[in-house]
Amino acid sequence: MARFRVLSLSLSLLFVVQSVVSISFYLPVRSRKCLREEIHKDVLVTGEYEIIEQPNTKTNLKITDSSGHILYVKEDATKGKFAFTTEDYDMFEVCFESKSPMAPIYLMNSEFVHLIFPDQQINLDMKHGVEAKNYEEIAKVEKLKPLEVELRRLEDLSESVVNDFAYMKKREEEMRDTNESTNTRVLYFSIFSMCCLIGLATWQVFYLRRFFKAKKLIE
């Protein structure tokens, strides 16, 4: 049982770093900040956000993929949750945009002075993969015992490990094929360049020989 707990803890620590994103930052008024992350195909992504409200300021939240498809959008966001499942391996973008209707004040000395608003604090907690699953809810629905729940979690972690290694192997094969293709093209280009140089040198020799014969400098 002790070994089982050690194995469970080891696998959990291995993926907790990669599967959980917790961040807190300050967003200036009338600015936009985006967070990007690559996520595998068919992966559950969940998140919670909290935006500390400021007077005369609204913040919009939008989550999109690399093609611009909107996965989640919330105008005048303050606090909430989101969840979606990825359809393909892609780069996903979480953007917060702060807007304020207040206009700058025009003074007699021809200088613009903007009203000063405090930056908005944004807290984002994002999970994907195994960490995004609610195993307590799964246990209630399927009436699983604590040990069975832990086994289910380990099974999901193991599947994630296998999928990650399979993806890395695929990427390595693709990169190797790309390198081999590039090396082949470089070789062919080098041979072509050498042939061109040899042809040009041969043409120059014959041309100069004919020129010198025409000038009767050589026989």
Does residue 13 lie within any of the structural domains? no
CA gap 57, 34 in Å, rounded: 18
Read off the pLDDT of each residue in 103-129 and give the average, rounded to a whole number: 68
Task: Determine contact, residues 130/156, Cβ cutoff 8 Å.
Answer: yes
In this predicted structure, what is the pLDDT of residue 80?
A: 95
Task: Give the chain's mean pLDDT.
Answer: 81
Cα radius of gyration (the chain): 31
In a domain, residue 35? The reply is: yes
Tracing tokens 């070789």 back to the chain, one arrives at 187
Residue 161 dihedral angles phi and psi, to the nearest 5°:
-60, -45
* Of 139 and 71, more confident: 71
With respect to residue 181, please indicate whether it lies within any of the assigned structural domains.
no
pLDDT in tens, 34-93: 999 988 888 899 999 999 988 888 999 999 999 999 999 999 999 999 999 999 889 999
Name the percent of the chain lying above pLDDT 90.
Answer: 32
The CATH number covering residue 73 comes to 2.60.120.380
**Residue 200 falls within a domain, yes or no?**
no
Beta bridge partners of 48: 81, 125
Task: Quote the number of domains for the chain.
Answer: 1
Tell me which residue of 83, 31, 84 sits closest to 54, measured CA to CA. 31
Q: Which two tokens stand for residue 110?
A: 């021809």
HSE-up of residue 154 (Cα within 13 Å, Cβ side): 13
DSSP conformation class of 86: -
Flag whether pLDDT at 138 surpasses 50. Answer: yes
CB 190 within 8 A of CB 45: no
Q: Has residue 71 been placed in a domain?
A: yes
pTM of the model: 0.62
What is the domain range of residue 91?
18-100+115-133
Burial (Cβ within 10 Å: 0-12, 13-18, ≥19) of residue 128: buried
How open is the CA angle 130-136-137, to the nearest 5 degrees?
95
Residue 23 placed within a domain: yes
Is pLDDT at 108 greater than 60 in this prediction? no
- Please report, for residues 22, 23, 48, 174, the alpha-carbon distance to residue 123 in angstroms, rounded to integers and kept in the order given: 8, 6, 8, 38
Contact 119, 12 (CB under 8 A): no
119 secondary structure, DSSP code: P
Predicted confidence (pLDDT) at residue 190 exceeds the cutoff of 60: yes
Q: Which residue has the higher pLDDT, 175 or 109?
A: 175
pLDDT digits over 76-101, tens only? 999 999 999 999 889 999 999 998 87
* Cα-based angle 209, 213, 218 (whole degrees, multiple of 5): 90
